[in-house]
Amino acid sequence: MKLNWAMVVSLMMLTSFLSNAESEEGSPTHGLVGLRPLPRTAEMDHGHNHGGSWAGTPTFDEQQGHYPFVADHLDIIKGWLDGDFKTKRVFFEHYWGLSEARDDLDPEKNLLIKTIRDWESNGAVVEHILLCREYDLAIQRGHKSAKPGPFKEDTRILYEQDIDDIRAMFKKAHKQNILKHDNYKLIQMVQEPSFFATDQRFQPIMDKVEGIAYECHQFNRHWPLETGWGKPEKIIKGAEWTLDQNKEYIFYYGPIRWKGEVYYEFVERDWLQKFWKAGLPKHHHRMHYYLNTFPHADGRGRPVGPETDPHSVLGFTKWLIEQIKMIPQEKRVRQQGVEGDA
């Protein structure tokens, strides 16, 4: 079989584009892509009601065998190790300050310790713990003992003592052979997209955590993008400040809309592209993109898969992986050159 020069060049470009975008070992040119797969199974999740009943909504277990690319290339997952995903790295959310009993610092009684232990006993590697004081939502849902953090501007932010207590508890749990490690990455979940980056009172807390997670979705006060709660310029300010602090930033994206009154084709991609165009870091080794695409309101009808359907959740995940991890060779060389000059 003869290959002409054009075919050779095309094959070289394709191979270059699809190679996982890492430079030297330990110096990747992109962050992680993660997914919260919901609903997992009908038995596990169809009883939930969050923005409307989940009964009858498409599930991930129905897509077994229909997402080979995502299964191979997804970096990290939340809440489910039973799918086709190859990764064993997990992240999860945890709320501190809901009650004294829940926050008991005895490792044998603490819910956070139990959650880590359960994942590790099932073969998972706990990568990120997204942690906050979920006061506003907790009060609305009947948690009368919930207490806010130190700042009225963002009641999700933890106290310094919270973090110190949790770190000490990790060490104690490891010493008692409850946990595999004596420390874990704590990511402060924030509510306001830039307060933490503009108020010096937050700096001591930032020094004690590994990074920031901001939830961006397409409903309620977040819609529309240009005038909503999480306007791009505010989120970009928070993300850039976090990265400048040599910390990790998680853009926790979702839920997303589906066919309703305000839907337009590929609205989920369009928002991300507008963020990137406005300056949100796209390719940075501490900038992570996690999808939180659970069924909500008019988003409940979106198909889960297969990944070949560009409108499905798995199709969107495939697109995001390609955008973040499959960096063309020429762009990767430029990035390495910039890092080498720094």
CA 340 from centroid of its chain's CA atoms? 29
DSSP designation for 140: H
Q: What is the pTM of this model?
A: 0.90
Asked whether 305 and 67 are in contact (CB, 8 A), the reply is: yes
pLDDT per residue of the chain (342 residues) written in tens, 0 to 9: 444 544 444 444 444 444 444 433 334 899 999 999 999 999 999 999 989 999 999 999 999 999 999 999 999 999 999 999 999 999 999 999 998 999 999 999 999 999 999 999 999 999 999 999 987 776 677 777 889 999 999 999 999 999 999 999 999 999 999 999 999 999 999 999 999 999 999 999 999 999 999 999 999 888 999 888 888 999 999 999 999 999 999 999 999 999 988 999 999 999 999 999 999 999 999 999 999 999 999 999 999 999 999 999 999 999 999 999 997 655 655 555 555 544
CA 50 from centroid of its chain's CA atoms? 19
d(CA 169, CA 109) in angstroms, rounded, equals 11
d(CA 102, CA 169) in angstroms, rounded, equals 14
Two tokens, residue 300: 């409940």
Sorted by where each begins, the domain ranges of the chain are 28-341
CATH for 28-341 is 3.20.20
Instruction: Give the residue carrying structure tokens 């989940």.
Output: 54
d(CA 16, CA 171) in angstroms, rounded, equals 44
Two tokens, residue 68: 């080979």
